[in-house]
Structure 1
Amino acid sequence: MKKILFSLYTCSLAAITYGGEANDWGYEANNAPEKWASLSEKYHACSGLNQSPIDIKNTTSAKLEPLKFNYTAKTQSIINNGHTVQVNFNDGNNLTLDGKEFVLKQFHLHSPSENKINGISYPMEMHLVHANAQGELAVVAIMYKKGENNKSLEQVWKNLPKQVGQDITLNEQVVAANFLPKKLDYYRFNGSLTTPPCTEGVRWIVLKNIQSASEAQLNAFTQLLSHPNNRPVQPVNARMILE
């Protein structure tokens, strides 16, 4: 049993740390999202009943605990893995959730947004991906709309790696706390990673406070990938969405 748990933990960490560098899945043609589950036995979970992203609607009112972020550590590197741009962090950024401590491993971006809120899709979505010592995962999602220039994103945009596989060490350090809105009201649901291996059992936190990014910033990311990198919304099935 311990070996199985260790294997699942290793698989999950590989997915969140390296953002799915495998080239056997993608967003277009024969390796598009609707085919992920059939591409490999490793991706069988992609056909599960508790998949992400979802359209957040028909929510249930609940007394959700306040989010407790302790983000003190800075960035390590930024990589273009062909599926997204991912910023990796040194240990030291923690989220306390359900009485457990989750460590921020990385954040990455999707355009357009993967999750929807009451049917609305946003130009971009950030996923801050956390893991605890038991290998459990928690993802905090932040939506971006077109508006004013975003100073926090500006730091990342200065170092956007243009080539697939390019990994840049960040000299100008990025503080994760700068990306969090002042108001931390949120939706919560049980889901999965939105890329293969589509591991389920992920705690999803989608912040209600929508952030702004300039048209130039949004275009810089979409042009870098040259194609959308959002998985379509998945059936909610029997899950509850809390707010």
Structure 2
Amino acid sequence: MKKILPATVAVLMLLAGTMAYAAEEQWSYAGEKGPEHWARLDPAFTLCGQGANQSPVNLTGFIEAELEPIKFDYTGLVTKIQHNGHTVQAAYSAGSFMTVNGRQFELRQIHFHTPSEHQLDGKQFPLEAHLVHADAKGQLAVIAVLSSLGAENPNLKKLWQQIPQEVGQEEGMATQVRADHLLPENREYYRLNGSLTTPPCTEGVLWLVMKNPVAVSEEQVKQFSEVIGHPNNRPAQPLNARVVLQ
């Protein structure tokens, strides 16, 4: 029987739309298990310290390119929402896809970070959503949506109403939330290669960061922060030799 490496197990759990709380206790966002220590916590987390293409980054030094529009075919809905101790993660029904550069990826789950993990020319945002996709070979692509303070976001409101208050809890959705309603109307994007922003920090992830933020109210950011109980953003990592296409 082929041995499955711990890092592979973590990615498979991510694609399944859930991360067991017991596994999440291995690392944290602060203290002795914080980001600066991730690489030493488990041999499977080595890339967190030694990887050359780590995420998130400060998006800067943009290179002009003819990026084709992303084709969205999101037909499903959020099916359940989980508080895993590190984020609020929403599982998505099967059969929703996005296509970029001829590659089709299926949407698997959506989760959130506050403050934002990615920065634009050094600017950090109060909230960032990650729409995690995988192709038929298990290769990952993540659409990142930044949020700026403004009016209440009606779609986030529906999600926030369902957030479990206790770590490890999971709730079914009583209201319908579509992934395309979480995206900005203008879907121009930045593109770069990177990694997962949590252990095992697996590289080879295609990042598509929406140029235009969506609105979120200060109260909504506060509500999310109070549920999580701490900032849940990995600090920006070195860009190294990568280019950011726009």
Question: What is the TM-score of this pair, normalised by structure 1?
Answer: 0.95
Matches within 5 A, 1:53-92: 53-92=56-95
Q: Which one-letter code corresponds to 1:36 in the other structure?
A: W
1:238 aligns with 2:241: yes
* Distance (whole Å) between structure 1 residues aligned to residue 4 and residue 194 of structure 2: 19
Query: Is 1:24 aligned to residue 26 of structure 2?
Result: yes
- Does the 8 A contact of 2:75 with 2:95 survive in 1? yes
Tell me how far apart the structure 1 counterparts of residues 62 and 55 of structure 2 sit (CA, whole Å): 16
* Distance 1:20-1:34 versus aligned 2 partners, 3 A rule: farther
Q: 2:35 matched to 1:36? A: no
Q: Distance in 2 between matches of 1:172 and 1:226?
A: 25
Give the equivalent residue in structure 2 for 1:13. Answer: 12
Percent identical pairs in the alignment equals: 43
Mapping for residues 20-169 of structure 1, pairs under 5 Å: 21=21, 22=23, 23-47=25-49, 48-169=51-172
Alignment-mate amino acid for residue 14 of structure 1: M
**In 2, distance between residues paired with 1:230 and 1:123?**
10
With normalisation by structure 2, the TM-score equals 0.94
Partners of 1:124 and 1:218 within 8 A in 2: yes
CA shift for structure 1 position 44: 1.0
The secondary structure found in structure 1 opposite 2:194 is strand
Note if contact 1:192-1:202 (Cα within 8 Å) is conserved in structure 2. yes
- Indicate conservation of the 8 Å contact 2:7/2:45, yes or no: no
Judge which range, 151-160 or 111-120, deviates more: 151-160
Q: Distance in 2 between matches of 1:67 and 1:97?
A: 5
CA distance in 2, matches of 1:28, 1:130: 28
Q: Which amino acid aligns with 2:106?
A: V
- Name whichever of 47-56 and 168-177 sits farther off: 168-177
Per-residue deviation, residues 159-191 of structure 1 (Å, max 9, x unmatched)? 111000010011212111111111111100000
Runs of at least 5 residues in structure 2 that lack an aligned partner in the other structure = none
Structure 2 CA distance for partners of 1:8 and 1:218, relative to 1, 3 Å: closer
**Are the equivalent residues in 1 in contact too, given 2:79–2:90 (CA < 8 A)?**
yes
Count of aligned residue pairs for this structure pair: 242
CA contact (8 A) 2:38 2:48 kept: yes
1:179 paired residue number? 182
Question: In 2, are the aligned partners of 1:130 and 1:137 still within 8 Å (CA)?
Answer: yes
Structure 1 residue runs without a partner (length 5+): none
Cα contact 1:25–1:31 (8 A) shared by 2: yes
Partners in 2 of 1:13 and 1:75 — Cα distance?
19
